[in-house]
Amino acid sequence: MGSIRLEGVRKVFGKTTVIPGVDLDIEDGTFVVFVGPSGCGKSTLLRLIAGLEDVSGGRIIIDGKDVAKLPAAKRGLSMVFQSYALYPHMTARNNIGFGLRMAGRPRDEVTRKVDAVSEVLNLSLYLDRKPGELSGGQRQRVAIGRAIVREPKAFLFDEPLSNLDAALRVQMRLEIARLQKSLATTTIYVTHDQVEAMTLADKIVVLNAGRVEQVGSPLELYASPANLFVAGFIGSPRMNFVSGDLAAPFGAATIGVRPEHIAVSREGDGWRGTISASEHLGSDTFLYIDVPQTSGITARAVGELGLKEGDDVRLAPDQGRIHRFDAQGQALR
Amino acid sequence: MARRVSIARAATITVVAWMVGFVIFFPILWMVLTSFKTELEAFSMPPKFLRFHWTLENYAIVQQRSDYIAHVWNSIAISFGSVSLSMLIAIPAAWAMAFAPTERTRGTLLWMLSTKMMPSVGVLVPIYLIYRDLGLLDTRLGLIALLCLADLPIVIWMLYTYFKEIPMGILEASRMDGIGPVREVVFVLAPIALPGIASTILLNVILAWNEAFWTLNLTTSKAAPLTAFIASYSSPEGLFWAKLSAASTLAIAPILVLGWLSQRQLVRGLTFGAVK
């Protein structure tokens, strides 16, 4: 079991309000990702749930019990840190089993559980090494092993992959997803990388300046962002925003169109523009197009197009996929 | 890549280093040599360096006149006792200051250090009177308590700087592992900070071993450590250089051996954190 509920959780550092008040419901077994630009308070919120920071107000309810005043050690959660934070003086085996040993579990039970976890994480060969003798990826596995061996109510991940190289990151991302599915333990995962958020989450919480902008499944956020911030944050390359005269026919202050929802052609209907730059990735082509009355439009096309810089083109946004926003930046439905 | 140093330069540095080392070590060498001279040769002019009549008679007389072993035991009890006691207080204190600082932490640290700037003699009379009333004069317990208090600022400062080098995340990880504060200190912090803790212990044992002001003023015989043993040879009948040297050599021998055996640890501890 591990349902987590935040009620008006606030955090103030000195005179700075980092989190003005967050309400959130996390059901048992879900994989929730906190995502947002750096400094948005996502790590702070995670540390408040963990108990590594004291809340300035509000309640944190885990399985029906308010734990806001309990120390981290008594909340029954486990955490994987960005810096791994392994115990440098212990072997991988002792790192993983430390919590269990300290909880007074019998020696053979600890050995059995550590062996089982290291089997799952492919760590069996490295159990007698100290953290200093392990690679980044192996250290991260030990940190994950340490978190899962205690069978906590929930896992907390604080940007766990940001110290790994790109290839390893993709691999570990898959492993974390697979692991969470098989354990079905509630997971809160903090990242600034929206690809991680989109691929891992059952539910994404988009944070901005300590406030929850939107909560929803990855595809919900992609298909119907609640406001300009979410619309701009989710999706890569980011959504194009057009205001003024071009938006007026749609009955909105601003409209947004994702690069993949714009058809580019030499002739036909749509906005006129000139290609200022193009990027060819093989599978995709990104076109950066100067369009009068906009700050430039990005379009994404599958495969290779026979277009080059300086060409005049027509842009036709997919009418069914235009996002409309009012003057306050809220989505119009 | 290491910087290339020319042979001439290396030789110069080596010679200078040996010379500085010799100058620092010379008084100790002279003391040891004097302890093997007769009283007459000890202050002969010009001084004799190696060509004198070597004798062990000073050691024999010193041994006869006072109980060296009893003084050694007192020194061991007082120095190790006071340092152990101060570690028990200082480790949790430094842990709190390093990992849960408040806005007053810095001020508290500076204030503690400032107490070391006060001359000890300033509080001699009150302490003497308090100790007399409590019956702590000339007791090991009294000296252990006093030296512990006198050492605490330095011990806390040293540990604080070592602890600051330890990433907070490791302690947080242990909290997430369900470990309470006491075991966090014992099983996580202390083992990681071991080089720093060891050098703090060593340095403070040496300081306590050599502490002469309080040990001379608050003891007479029962709890008198080696400092009192040496001082007893500067007597009203005059100075007996050779015997004084023999007593001093005997007094510094144990701590010199300890320092020699642990010099690697000491140097490592003192540069802890400088090299990652």
Domain for residue B46, yes or no?
A: no
> What CATH number is associated with residue B217?
1.10.3720.10
If pLDDT is split at 50, 70 and 90, which confidence band does B55 have? Answer: confident
What's the pLDDT score for residue A22? 94
Domain for residue B270, yes or no?
A: no
Map chain A to HEC letters.
CCCEEEEEEEEEECCEEEEEEEEEEECCCCEEEEECCCCCCHHHHHHHHHCCCCCCEEEEEECCEECCCCCHHHCCEEEECCCCCCCCCCCHHHHHHHHHHHCCCCHHHHHHHHHHHHHHCCCHHHCCCCHHHCCHHHHHHHHHHHHHCCCCCEEEEECCCCCCCHHHHHHHHHHHHHHHHHHCCEEEEEECCHHHHHHHCCEEEEEECCEEEEEECHHHHHHCCCEHHHHHHCCCCCCEEEEHHHCHHHCCCEEEECHHHEEEECCCCCEEEEEEEEEECCCEEEEEEECCCCCCEEEEEECCCCCCCCCEEEEEECHHHCEEECCCCEEEC
Task: Decide if B202 contacts B258 (C-beta within 8 A).
Answer: yes
Nearest-by-CA chain B residue for A99: B177
Domain for residue B146, yes or no?
A: yes
Domain for residue B156, yes or no?
A: yes
DSSP string, chain B: -PPP--HHHHHHHHHHHHHHHHHHHHHHHHHHHHTTS-HHHHT-SSPPSS-S----HHHHHHHHHS-HHHHHHHHHHHHHHHHHHHHHHHHHHHHHHHHS--TTHHHHHHHHHHHTTS-GGGGHHHHHHHHHHHT-TT-HHHHHHHHHHHHHHHHHHHHHHHHHTS-HHHHHHHHHTT--HHHIIIIIIHHHTHHHHHHHHHHHHHHHHH--HHHHHH-SSTT--HHHHHHTTEETTEE-HHHHHHHHHHHHHHHHHHHHHTHHHHHHHHTTTT--
Instruction: State yes or no: pLDDT of B274 exceeds 50.
Output: no
Domain for residue B248, yes or no?
A: no
Give residue B82's domain range.
66-232
CA atoms within 13 A on the CB side of B3: 4
**Mean pLDDT, residues B21-33 taken together:** 92
If pLDDT is split at 50, 70 and 90, which confidence band does A190 have? Answer: very high
Rounded Cα–Cα distance for residues A263 and B171 (Å): 54
Q: Which domains can be identified in chain A, with CATH numbers?
A: 4-231 (3.40.50.300), 238-332 (2.40.50.140)
pLDDT in tens, B195-236: 889 888 988 898 898 888 888 888 887 888 888 888 887 766
A88 vs B contacts (CB less than 8 Å): 170, 192
| Nearest CB to B179 within list A76, A79, A102 | A102
Q: What is the token pair recorded at A90?
A: 């212990």
- The alpha carbons of chain B give a radius of gyration, in whole angstroms, of 23
Domain for residue B149, yes or no?
A: yes
A78 vs B contacts (CB less than 8 Å): 176-177
Distance from CA of B112 to the nearest CA of A (A): 26
pLDDT in tens, A133-182: 998 889 999 999 999 999 999 999 999 998 888 888 898 899 999 999 99
The answer to whether the predicted template modeling score (pTM) of the entire model surpasses 0.95 is: no
Domain for residue B213, yes or no?
A: yes
Position of tokens 């596995």? A141
**Mean pLDDT, residues A50-56 taken together:** 94
Looking at chain B, the whole-number percentage of residues with pLDDT higher than 90 is 39
CB contact under 8 A, B174 and A51: no
Q: Testing the interface with B: which of A43, A46, A53, A89 to mutate, by most B Cβ within 10 A? A: A89
Q: How many domains does chain B have?
A: 1
CB contact under 8 A, B172 and A79: yes
- Interchain contact A271–B (C-beta under 8 A): no
Distance from CA of A90 to the nearest CA of B (A): 9
B179 vs A contacts (CB less than 8 Å): 73, 98-99, 102
pLDDT in tens, A270-286: 889 999 999 988 888 89
What's the pLDDT score for residue B125? 92
CB contact under 8 A, B175 and A86: no
Nearest-by-CA chain A residue for B192: A89
Instruction: State yes or no: pLDDT of A296 exceeds 70.
Output: yes
Q: Testing the interface with A: which of B168, B170, B172, B176 to mutate, by most A Cβ within 10 A? A: B176
Domain for residue B37, yes or no?
A: no
Distance from CA of B276 to the nearest CA of A (A): 12
Distance from CA of A229 to the nearest CA of B (A): 32
Instruction: State yes or no: pLDDT of B182 exceeds 50.
Output: yes
Q: What is the token pair recorded at A2?
A: 């591990």
What's the pLDDT score for residue B196? 86
